[in-house]
Amino acid sequence: MNQEVSSKLYTPADLQAHRPLTLRTGAIIPLDKPLGWTSFDVVNKVRIMVRQVTGIKRIKVGHAGTLDPQATGVLVLCTGRATKLIEQLMDHDKEYCATLQLGATTPSFDSEHEIDATYPYEHITEEMVRSALSQFTGEIDQRPPSFSAIKVGGIRAYDLARQGQEVELAHKRVTIHELELVSFTPPTLQLRIVCSRGTYIRSLARDLGTALDSGAYLTKLVRTRSGEISQADCFSLDQMDELLALTPDEEKLP
């Protein structure tokens, strides 16, 4: 972690130390995103909390890497001048713990939508899974899900998909550095993944199901690390009031 990032990074240990919060000067605040929230929901909630706790009415707040509503874990927020670091933080590798269900697919490749097709899975062995995983390690071409935030003609792909329009996005080159089978209890399996920016774990689930002559979709996803920021470094939303209360008066001035 470079010095500029580490100097602006806040963790729960800073609550105990009563470290002043430099909201305007720039703060990097990792949050453990709750299930069911969009990344924008979290950013908007934090903006509201900033106004309520500090009285600061206008401040830049952004995040360094979207998490789907059905995912939880590390969501890195940047405030004030630290928003200039967002692109740098987004380029960092991410680590995930993913739970997949074999034998079925959904339109969104996760549990946000109902199952649209079922497939046999009884033939799948642990050896087959490990062999298939080797196909997805390293640089791969991956097609993003139709239900994604990628824009098509200025419109989010998920908005088009929800309107019933056929959306087929172009393949993207991504890198999966590590792909480990953590557990296999058919029809469920759990993976640990370390990957580059832009990797869709939902697409990996779909593609793995296809490689196993079956179907698969994501039932649980936790981002456990973003760069060197781990889930243990994250604040809960419930802790944000306490953190924001550490904002010194000079940071509240317009």
Q: Hey, which residues are catalytic here? A: 68
Query: Distance (Å, rounded) from C-alpha 67 to C-alpha 95?
Result: 12
Q: Which residues contact 201 (CB under 8 A, 6 or more apart)?
A: 96, 98, 193, 195, 218, 221
Q: Which residues contact 62 (CB under 8 A, 6 or more apart)?
A: 43, 77, 78, 83, 86
Amino acid in the structure at residue 163: Q
Cα atoms in the 13 Å half-sphere on the side-chain side of 1: 14
**Residue 238, token pair as written in the block:** 């419930």
